[in-house]
Chain A
Amino acid sequence: MSATGSGIVSGIIFGFALVFLLQQIGFLSLSGLASGLLYLLLFVVVFAVLFGIIANALGKRRARKLAAPTASA
């Protein structure tokens, strides 16, 4: 799986877990169908995109770092 793909998967699981954690500790109510699904969708999409971008950037940066010593040698 690519770095971006890994980041997206992590973001989806992160968003999913965060919504339920907030519900467990009393910050969020998932009682309404529309509001509950909206929270889930919002958190999952936002964190999937965010983690995808972060993973993409980190993956590229590490690839350049990894390749630099070999290329200069």
Chain B
Amino acid sequence: MRATKSGRSFAVAVRASLAFGVAVLLLAPFVPVAGATPGTRSGTGPGGNPGAGFLYSVSWNGRGTSNATTTGTALTVSFGSAITMQFHWSSGGSSGPPGGVSEVEFQAFLFGFSFITRALTNTPALTTPTGVTNLTWDPGALTYIVSGVYLCLASIFAPNGSTIWSESFYIKANAPFVVGALLPLILLLLLVYELYAVLTVKPTAPKGVQPWSASKETDQKPESGSGKNGGSEESGPVAEENGKP
């Protein structure tokens, strides 16, 4: 009986450790990475004064993000190499965006928190009617831990800190082969194991009935009254051992 109990405890411990490991791996992006630029703004939601007649856009390594508005149309990206985000603005007039473009920023979110923030400050602010600012950054260690679908926000700020323009889009990050293949595989194995664990669950005795004497008709009380097996849900083999004279 002791061996069975310790075996079960071991199985539970292994499963819990596996689940914990996966959780840590998935939440690892929250750990600050060396070289990461801390967020310098808050409340960067859409709004502000976009400036009449101006067109803004952002691209990820040359690919437009304006169509990646849902998880289904997410931009498939890789964190395996340096990323260049180009922030464009243009107008038909002779003046630049109101106040000029002081800063561009990129953020990616997980559970509502920005786990990637990269920003570039232009000093002095760019006031040309048409322009491009390149925000180039190296994902570094994020290469190995970021995979899956994430909501991102690209923003352009004026010198006074107000948001000139911002756009939300989704990316689907593909991790390098080892991580990209291993993590879903571990999760799949975990799912299969849990299904197996449920489908091969040990027998449960009806309340007040020992499993070795239970039948559809009998509903007898255990002989020992409030004995240690009375009313408990023992497994078959263990109960059989206990029931032997």
Contacts and interface: CB of A to CB of B under 8 A. Distances in A.
A in complex with B = yes
A17 B191 contact: yes
Interface string B180-211: 00011001101100110111011111100101
Interface of B: 8, 12, 15-16, 19, 22-23, 26, 71, 74, 108-113, 147-151, 170, 172, 183-184, 187-188, 190-191, 194-195, 197-199, 201-206, 209, 211-216, 218, 232-233, 236
A26 B194 contact: no
Contacts of B198: 6-7, 10-11, 51, 54-55, 58
Contact of B8 (A1, A4, A34): A1
In the A-B complex, list the 4 residue pairs whose CB atoms are closest, starting with the nearest: A33-B112, A59-B204, A31-B151, A63-B203
Contact of A68 (B172, B215, B232): B215
Given A23-B149, A24-B187, A16 B202 contact: no
A14 B26 CA distance: 16
Interface residues of A, number: 47
Q: At the interface, is chain A mostly helix, strand, loop or mixed?
A: helix
A37 to B, nearest CB: 7
Given A30-B111, A59-B233, A17 B19 contact: yes
B111 A29 contact: no
A6 B191 contact: no
Contact of A26 (B172, B187, B211, B216): B172
Interface string A1-41: 11110110111011011101101111111111110110000
